């Protein structure tokens, strides 16, 4: 497998690569009973979020992956809503948040997440991020270590090596992602659900529906996001926040490279989840929850 294909499959297995002549639109999110949604203005834009609680429990902030949306976290949020006030944001250009024409670098998303946390006055939240959400969580740890109580990065890119070996690889990826985002907006619901089943046979029908909804909510201008995700290896020793990295299963060589990447980082623990692909929390939820609960311990307000 050449380098570019490996990058595409390992980072964004969830991204759609097919199209159809009948577009599908999703205008109303399916919010579970008892939850609420709302908006804050942060970093100069309107950001949409979902919330399971009323602020009386310790806060937990969930940061979704590229082309996903806040409600893609529904299953995990249900697992923790008894003990935590779980907040799931839609990024700029994703879900029901604003979509400015520019501003899709990791630092922009990080400023948005920090702005939402501050706007909602969330004291020392647990921060959990999947894929690019893990990249954003890492930047919060580095730039605002006063914010998170603990952090969990679920299959973040750039753990042991940079995402792109050359500038040519980066530009090739950018073209691919731009084309793919156009394909998403020309797809029918039937096509999207079939694609979800083909790519993620381990996830539930409900997860496939949320996957489809999130894909049609994304805006074309987010394409530059992926080529700007950071290389994390050199940053791990700087982490002062207790951090758990839950990685997808991999061959023994890759596993060892990723374990080596966090050596010398006393606040970082890395665990591989057997049988999991990129959607670790949806493909192997029981194994992930076991490691996650051990790491988080008893919920504590700060």
CB atoms within 10 A of CB 297: 8
Q: What is the pTM of this model?
A: 0.90
- Lowest model confidence (mean pLDDT) among 18-22, 213-217, 285-289: 18-22
- Lowest model confidence (mean pLDDT) among 4-8, 42-46, 169-173: 4-8
Instruction: Give residue 2's pLDDT.
Output: 52
Q: Is the pLDDT of residue 295 over 70?
A: yes
DSSP string over 79-103: HHTTTSEEEEEPPTTSTTS---SS-
As a whole number of angstroms, the distance between CA 208 and CA 202 comes to 10
Q: Is the pLDDT of residue 26 over 70?
A: no
CA distances from 190 to 12, 20, 24, 175, 187 (A): 21, 9, 9, 26, 8
- Lowest model confidence (mean pLDDT) among 2-6, 62-66, 71-75, 242-246: 2-6
The per-residue pLDDT for range 60-118, each reduced to its tens digit, is 999 999 999 999 999 999 999 999 999 999 999 999 999 999 999 999 999 999 999 99
Structural domains of the chain sorted by starting position, each given as residue range(s) with its CATH number in brackets: 30-163+229-295 (3.40.50.1820)
């Amino acid at each position: 497998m050449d380098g570019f294909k490996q990058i595409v499959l390992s980072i964004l297995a969830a991204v759609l690569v097919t199209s159809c002549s009948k577009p599908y639109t999703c205008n109303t999110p399916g919010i579970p009973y008892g939850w609420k949604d709302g908006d804050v203005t942060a970093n100069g834009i309107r950001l949409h979020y979902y919330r399971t609680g009323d602020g009386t429990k310790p806060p937990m902030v969930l940061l979704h992956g590229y082309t996903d949306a806040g409600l893609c976290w529904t299953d995990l949020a249900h697992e923790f809503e008894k003990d935590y006030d779980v907040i799931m944001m839609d990024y700029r250009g994703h879900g029901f948040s604003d979509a400015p024409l520019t501003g899709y670098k990791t630092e922009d998303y990080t400023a948005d997440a920090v702005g939402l946390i501050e706007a909602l006055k969330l004291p020392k939240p647990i921060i959990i991020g999947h894929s690019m959400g893990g990249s954003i969580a890492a930047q919060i740890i580095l730039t605002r270590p006063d914010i998170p109580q603990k952090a969990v990065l679920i299959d973040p890119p750039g753990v042991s090596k940079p995402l792109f070996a050359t500038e040519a690889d980066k530009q090739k990826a950018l073209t691919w992602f731009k084309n793919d985002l156009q394909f998403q907006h020309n797809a029918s619901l039937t096509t999207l659900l079939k694609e979800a089943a083909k790519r993620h046979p381990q996830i539930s029908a409900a997860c496939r529906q949320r996957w489809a909804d999130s894909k049609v909510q994304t805006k074309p201008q987010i394409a530059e996001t992926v080529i700007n995700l950071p290389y994390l290896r050199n940053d791990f020793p700087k982490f002062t926040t207790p951090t758990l990295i839950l990685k997808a299963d991999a061959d023994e060589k890759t596993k060892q490279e990723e374990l080596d990447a966090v050596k010398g980082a006393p606040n970082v623990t890395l665990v591989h989840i057997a049988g999991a692909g990129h959607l670790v929390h949806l493909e192997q939820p029981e194994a992930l929850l076991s490691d996650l609960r051990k790491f988080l311990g008893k919920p504590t307000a700060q």
